[in-house]
Amino acid sequence: MHLFYTPDIHSEFYTLNEEESKHCTRVLRLQQGDTVYLVDGKGNLFTAIIQDANQKKCKLQTIEKQPEYGKLSYISHIAVAPTKNMDRMEWFVEKAVEIGVTEITFLLCEHSERRQLRLDRLEKIAISAMKQSQKGYLPLLHDLTPFTKFVQQSIQDRTFIAHLEEDATKSIKHYYDSGKPHCIMIGPEGDFSPNEIKAAYEAGIRPVTLGESRLRTETAALVACHTLQVLHEIYSA
């Protein structure tokens, strides 16, 4: 399946942008009359026929629309403090999208080593991963959000904080409720500060452990993402 990202598709006819046109005609060598598929990142999958295989403006005609393509039957939200090395955070975004994640928020914490973010770069990586894994929904990516603000906006009984303190003894499976949204917070490389953990507790957020191993930030975030997917498969079976 040749899949292209077309977030602004609104009619029967659509012209791919220059980058996607080159990929379609020069890399994939598709020609007039060939079938391609389009996703808008909102769950709509379009079947389309190439009308003009122009290398800069490839023109298509849609012939079928399938709503809710690849819709996740669970809601998973990972809130993570970006690492100093952005390659590691880009890797997390790519793999989380492939596995299946609904939303990612980047946290600004007391121990954060990174206080700026190129969200546009991360969005491109998410789009590429969405296409590669043939999904129809592009996860929501939220720019750097102060820890306090995120805690205040969180859903108390559905948000959990993974940290390294001794009282984080239960895994997310003890709280998992099939059909409900779940959010797991992952701290920076220096972990959440005692003040942040206290503030989370006061907001009704409960601690969870991701296992006995001490994990890197991006590994912990991916483990949290995959754990929610596995729990959904187990409890919805």
Q: List, for residues 44-66, the tens digit of each pLDDT value.
A: 999 999 999 999 999 999 999 99
CA distance 234 to 11: 40
The total of structural domains in the chain comes to 2
Indicate if 196 and 102 belong to the same structural domain: yes
Residue 194 within any structural domain of the chain: yes
Confidence of residue 237 (pLDDT cuts 50, 70, 90): low
Residue 71 within any structural domain of the chain: no
**Nearest by Cα to 138 from 155, 126, 121:** 126
Contact 161, 200 (CB under 8 A): yes
Indicate if 142 and 177 belong to the same structural domain: yes
Indicate if 58 and 85 belong to the same structural domain: no
Indicate if 46 and 110 belong to the same structural domain: no
Indicate if 82 and 101 belong to the same structural domain: yes
Is the per-residue pLDDT at 69 higher than 90?
yes
Q: List, for residues 170-223, the tens digit of each pLDDT value.
A: 999 999 998 899 999 999 998 999 999 999 999 999 999 999 888 999 999 999
Indicate if 17 and 107 belong to the same structural domain: no
Indicate if 10 and 109 belong to the same structural domain: no
**Helices and strands (H, E) in the chain, number of each type:** 6, 11
| Residues 6+ positions from 38 with CB-CB distance below 8 Å | 3, 4, 5, 6, 9, 14, 45, 46, 48, 60, 62
Structural domain range at position 97:
76-235
Q: Which pTM value belongs to this model?
A: 0.93
**Which domain-ending residue is among 47, 66, 85?**
66
Indicate if 62 and 172 belong to the same structural domain: no
